[in-house]
């Protein structure tokens, strides 16, 4: 089945720094979703992307749908302690196909 390669697996950054993470796939997706999961909670949808090349922001978060439709990145600017968590990318295609998740990026912010 389709797989997503998400990197990096983990990051340790200083508060105030910018963060970048990305997902790549060997096949195309029609939709890219980015989720954040706090410990012991369910994933929360951050940003959804529907068109190749689309760049979308949500506060300090910015995500882009790669022009080839095989990749997406998420940037977080000026990180704060509450940004700590696991970030998952997920790809979706048309039809009765499941959401495909990356393995997640664990973000730690040092105050």
Partner 1 sequence: DAMVIQNPRYQVTQFGKPVTLSCSQTLNHNVMYWYQQKSSQAPKLLFHYYDKDFNNEADTPDNFQSRRPNTSFCFLDIRSPGLGDAAMYLCATSRERGGVSSYNEQFFGPGTRLTVL
- Which positions touch partner 1 (CB under 8 A)? 30-31, 33, 35, 40-45, 48, 50, 88, 92, 94-99, 101-104
H/E stretch holding 53 reads none
Nearer to partner 1, 73 or 88 (CB): 88
Q: Which is nearer to partner 1, 70 or 77 (CB)?
A: 70
What sign does the CA torsion over 13, 18, 24, 28 have?
positive
* Cis amide leading into 8 (omega within 30): yes
Question: How wide is the angle at C-alpha 68 spanned by C-alphas 77 and 28, nearest 5°?
Answer: 105
- State the minimum distance, in angstroms, from the CB of residue 50 to partner 1: 6
Q: In whole angstroms, how close is the CB of 98 to partner 1 at the nearest point? A: 5
Least distance in angstroms from the C-beta of 78 to partner 1 = 26
Residue 16 vs 53, nearer CB to partner 1: 53
């Amino acid at each position: 089945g389709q797989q997503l390669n998400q990197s990096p697996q983990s990051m340790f950054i200083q508060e105030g720094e910018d963060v970048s993470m990305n997902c790549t796939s060997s096949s195309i997706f029609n939709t890219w979703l980015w989720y954040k999961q706090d410990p012991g909670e369910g994933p929360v949808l951050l940003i959804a992307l529907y068109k190749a090349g689309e760049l979308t922001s949500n506060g300090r978060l910015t995500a882009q749908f790669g022009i080839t439709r095989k990749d997406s990145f998420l940037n977080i600017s000026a990180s704060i302690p509450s940004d700590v968590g696991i970030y998952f990318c997920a790809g979706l295609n048309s039809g009765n196909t499941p959401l495909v998740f990356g393995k997640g990026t664990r973000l730690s912010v040092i105050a």
